[in-house]
Structure 1
Amino acid sequence: MTTPGNSSYDVWRPHVTVACVVTDRDRYLMVEEEVNGCIAYNQPAGHLDDFESLQQAAVRETREETGWTVALTHLIGVHQWRSKEHGDVIVRFTFAAKPLTHDPQQPLDTGVRRALWLTRGEIAALGECLRSPMVLMSIDDWLAGQRLPLSIVTSLMPGSAVP
């Protein structure tokens, strides 16, 4: 049996991720990426880094995966899901964001093939190519008017001011 004082003590932890639903009229910013040799589509999304607020992570991941700088406007929701890709649990904080500027020269993250703007219908038609069920769920939550104030997510980490 392991105990907190024992160096082999381990606590189960889910992966904490962030995503952005970035809208431009009826289109949504999406990422086409290669995952385990297959093409998948997702919102700009990724893992929370140490010493980073959830909001900082969402803005950073969007910029790294798409070249777009965004301003967060709301929290859409928090979703929990077990990934079919690796079997681990994902806890995903999804934010709504508006596009500000685009840098087409910015190199995109490893595995990201391109960023593209698609309508909800085009995204739904991707079916099994969506990275997770959270992709369409987040868009539908946003379309249904689910918008929580950003102040509901608070960080007490040093240097974690919202960008």
Structure 2
Amino acid sequence: MAQRWKPNVTVAAVIERQGRYLLVEEETADGLRLNNPAGHLDPGESPAEGCARETLEETAHRFTPTAVVGIYLARIRQPKDITYLRFAFAGTLGDFEPERALDHGIVRTLWMTVDEIRASTARHRSPLLLQCVEDHLAGKRYPLELVRVDPSMG
């Protein structure tokens, strides 16, 4: 029997303040790339919990998801063929923890305008970065209850 296809489940925070979006610059095999604060969902956590954790690990900011911006499916074929299922959340940016070290590979955080993000697509780690920002800018917000988490996950 062929190996079953399983997409990688990821979470991302779409954080805007005064017309700028919080991004991370990270080291990748392709050089420095830009992305939303994002990462893989860990076992036993809900997508909203994973998003809060990843945002803290990558930006040293607390984050409370308040709405789903979108659920996305994307396929990256180089260097390996991988499909990502991304849950993107808008929310409230909380306290900054300056003593916290950023996740391995994260070089820095930065605030960029939509125009700067649009002009830097060659540096995007994921094609979903811009789509998430565009959807946020268009006002797409869905209740957190859209993503149902069964009690068996806890």
Please state which band the TM-score falls in when normalised by the shorter chain: over 0.9
SS class of match (1:98): strand
Residue 105 (structure 1) aligned to one of 74, 99, 112: 99
Cα pair 1:52 1:157 within 8 Å, conserved: no
* Structure 1 match to 2:59: 66
One-letter amino acid matched to 2:145? S
Deviation for aligned residue 1:132: 1.6
Q: Which has the larger radius of gyration?
A: 1
Residue 70 (structure 2) aligned to one of 77, 85, 94: 77
Residue 22 (structure 2) aligned to one of 21, 29, 38: 29
Runs of 4+ off more than 2 Å: 157-160
Deviation for aligned residue 1:158: 4.8
Deviation for aligned residue 1:10: 4.1
Question: Structure 1 residue 15 and structure 2 residue 14: aligned?
Answer: no
| Unaligned ranges ≥5, structure 1 | 3-8
SS class of match (1:78): strand
SS class of match (1:59): helix
* CA distance, structure 2, for counterparts of residue 19 and residue 26 of structure 1: 18
* CA distance, structure 1, for counterparts of residue 21 and residue 92 of structure 2: 10
* CA distance, structure 2, for counterparts of residue 57 and residue 40 of structure 1: 21
One-letter amino acid matched to 1:74? A
Deviation for aligned residue 1:159: 6.8
* CA distance, structure 1, for counterparts of residue 72 and residue 29 of structure 2: 23
| Unaligned ranges ≥5, structure 2 | none
* CA distance, structure 1, for counterparts of residue 136 and residue 130 of structure 2: 10
* CA distance, structure 2, for counterparts of residue 104 and residue 116 of structure 1: 15
RMSD (Å) for aligned C-alpha atoms: 1.5
Residue 150 (structure 2) aligned to one of 123, 135, 156: 156
Q: TM-score, normalised on structure 1?
A: 0.88
Cα pair 1:24 1:98 within 8 Å, conserved: no
Question: Structure 1 residue 95 and structure 2 residue 68: aligned?
Answer: no
Cα pair 1:24 1:99 within 8 Å, conserved: no
Q: TM-score, normalised on structure 2?
A: 0.93
